Amino acid sequence: MRYVLLLLFLTALSLASAQAPGTPSDSPSGQAVPVDQANAQKARAVIDRAIQALGGDAFLRWTDMTQEGRAYSFHRGEANSMGTQFWRFRKFPDQERDELTKKRDVIEIYNGDKGYEITYKGVRNMDHKDELDPYLRRHRYSLDIVLRQWLNQPGVALFYEGQTVAAQKETDQVTIMNAKNEGVTLNFDINTHLPVRKSFTWRDPADKERNVEEEVFDDYRPIQGIMTPFNTTRLFNGEMAAQTFLTDAKYNQNVAGSLFDPQAASSRKH
């Protein structure tokens, strides 16, 4: 009899513990959801709302884009130029062409893991350390690559990190980790659900110092059903590094693949 009473007591204690505050909540099916799984589900819900706010399928399926605007560069947080006019052509996922200055006489082409600069002198392969590597790193962590490619890869992990202020807006913060242990932290406006800030960290292979790169997105406008930030600010270790202001943007313009051929670009300039 004492054994039966002890067994009943332990069973009741176990049931009480399962309902204690701070334990995993029950799913709609009645099964307990582990804390990490519930957190991942919350993160995924925030991301799904953001993708819908960005345009849903239109955002997920655009194949190319064109942009016009002006870009500014900064050194130690101070502007070091009057700005450069640019025309940009992109084919998803990894082809980009930037035509710079009013005369469009400087062209930068990125095609896969290669980069070229074309001027009146001809074609020059970009220097890896100072030119190409920083671009490739930013591209690898870019918003459309993270939301359109990372999320579909095996081994991706999602973490909801609560609400916080970012770029003077109340946001939901989520971190996405891929199978290579690369992470991106995204902040989404709690009202519009649009991305407000993106940040990632990396260590310099030379000095092993940790660096933080951020992008802040603002002035969203609907372009062909896709919410497009017309103002993007890039920061490096907390200091402003670059800023772009768009004057025009278009999607799915059937951008020719030949635009990303440096030799073809060079021949047209001469």
**Prior bond of 205 cis (ω within 30°):** no
Q: Are 65 and 144 in contact (CB under 8 A)?
A: no
Tell me whether residue 22 is in a domain. Answer: no
Tell me whether residue 95 is in a domain. Answer: yes
Percentage of residues of the chain with pLDDT beyond 90? 79
Q: How many other C-beta atoms lie within 10 A of the C-beta of residue 98?
A: 19
> Bigger pLDDT: 187 or 33?
187
Q: Mean pLDDT across the stretch 203-218?
A: 94
Tell me whether residue 235 is in a domain. Answer: yes
pLDDT for res 33? 59
- Which of 73, 90, 112, 105 is closest to 244 using CA atoms? 73
Tell me whether residue 259 is in a domain. Answer: yes
Q: How far apart are CA 101 and CA 85, in angstroms?
A: 5
Tell me whether residue 2 is in a domain. Answer: no
Q: Mean pLDDT across the stretch 23-38?
A: 58
Encoded amino acid at 257, one letter: G
Q: What is the pLDDT of residues 63-78, one digit of tens each?
A: 999 999 999 999 776 7
Mean pLDDT of the chain: 88
pLDDT for res 80? 77
Q: Are 98 and 163 in contact (CB under 8 A)?
A: no
Report the predicted TM-score, pTM, of the whole model to 2 decimal places. 0.85
Indicate which CATH number applies to the domain containing 193: 2.50.20.10
Render the burial of 58-81: b for 16+ CB within 10 Å, e for the rest: bbeebebbbbebebbebeeeeeee
pLDDT over 90 at 197, yes or no:
yes
Q: How far apart are CA 263 and CA 177, in angstroms?
A: 38
DSSP code for 150: G
DSSP code for 105: -
Tell me whether residue 26 is in a domain. Answer: no
Encoded amino acid at 263, one letter: Q
Q: Mean pLDDT across the stretch 128-157?
A: 96
Domain extent for 166: 36-269
Q: Are 174 and 160 in contact (CB under 8 A)?
A: yes
Dihedral sign, Cα of residue 151, residue 111, residue 81, residue 69: negative
How many residues in the chain? 270
Cβ within 8 Å of residue 85, ≥6 positions away = 68, 69, 70, 100, 101, 102
pLDDT for res 4? 38
> Bigger pLDDT: 142 or 1?
142
Alpha carbon of 104 to those of 101, 135, 255: distances in Å? 5, 20, 17
pLDDT over 80 at 1, yes or no:
no
Tell me whether residue 98 is in a domain. Answer: yes
Tell me whether residue 189 is in a domain. Answer: yes
- Which of 32, 11, 31, 10 is closest to 23 using CA atoms? 32
Q: How far apart are CA 126 and CA 138, in angstroms?
A: 16
- What total of structural domains would you count in the chain? 1
Q: How far apart are CA 79 and CA 88, in angstroms?
A: 22
Phi-psi region of 148 (alpha: psi -120 to 50; beta: other; left: phi over 0): alpha
- For residue 65, the Cα-to-chain-centroid distance in whole angstroms is 16
Q: Could you tell me the pLDDT band of residue 27, with boundaries at 50, 70 and 90?
A: very low
